[in-house]
Structure 1
Amino acid sequence: MPSLTLKTHLGLLLMSFVTWGLFVLIGWPDYYQSWPFFMKLAAVVAVTLLYIPLTPFILRLFCRKRFVAHSLWLALYLTVPLFIYDYLYIVLIGGDDMGFVFSYWYLSFFYFSFWLQMPLVAHLLMREPSEHSA
Structure 2
Amino acid sequence: MNTKKHFQLLPYSFITWLIFYIIGLPDYYQQWYFWAKIVVCVFVTLIYFPITQYTLKKYWTDGKHLVNSCWLALYLTLPLFVYDYLLLAVYKGLGIGFVIPYWYLTFFYFSFWIQFPLVGWWMQRTKTQSVEASAR
TM (norm. structure 1) is 0.92
Greater fraction of residues in helix: 2
For residues 129 and 102 of structure 2, what CA distance do their matches in structure 1 show?
A: 38
- In the alignment, which residue of structure 2 is the partner of 1:121? 119
Mark the structure with the bigger radius of gyration. Answer: 2
Letter in 2 for 1:71: S
- In the alignment, which residue of structure 1 is the partner of 2:106? 108
Q: CA deviation at 1:7?
A: 1.2
Q: CA deviation at 1:127?
A: 2.7
Task: State whether structure 2 residue 59 is matched by structure 1 residue 62.
Answer: yes
Q: Which runs of 5+ in 1 are unaligned?
A: none
Q: Which runs of 5+ in 2 are unaligned?
A: 132-136
**1:32 counterpart SS class:** coil
RMSD, matched Cα: 1.5
- In the alignment, which residue of structure 1 is the partner of 2:9? 12
- Alignment CA distance shift 1:118-1:58 (3 Å): same
Letter in 1 for 2:92: G
Fraction of identical pairs, as percent: 48
Q: CA deviation at 1:128?
A: 2.5
Letter in 1 for 2:54: F
For residues 106 and 130 of structure 2, what CA distance do their matches in structure 1 show?
A: 34
Q: Which of structure 1's runs of 4+ aligned residues deviate more than 4 A?
A: 129-133
